[in-house]
Amino acid sequence: MRDYKWLRDYSDYLYLGMLFPSSIAVGTLMGYFIDNWFHTDPWGKLAGFIFGVIAGGYNFYKDYQKLVKKGK
């Protein structure tokens, strides 16, 4: 049987590494659908990208602070 202890040890860091780019991707995708709905190309994608960067940065900072308090 394989030992996946390393995955358990580094799961918080893997989560932080995927948090920021996934937030940007979700924001941009939402902007894409808004552009298709209202025919406002490229403003919806731009607003979604900016929203994704802000939301991703905020969530990254908040979760990083939790990780520091946890002592990892």
| Ranges of each domain in the chain | 25-72
Q: Return the pLDDT at 16.
A: 93
- pLDDT of 2 > 90? The answer is no
User: Confidence band (pLDDT; 50, 70, 90) for 39?
Assistant: very high
CA gap 69, 29 in Å, rounded: 33
Mean pLDDT within 28-48: 96
Best CA proximity match to 60, nearest among 29, 21, 31, 28: 21
**pTM of the shown model:** 0.85
Q: How confident is the model at residue 72 (pLDDT cuts 50, 70, 90)?
A: low
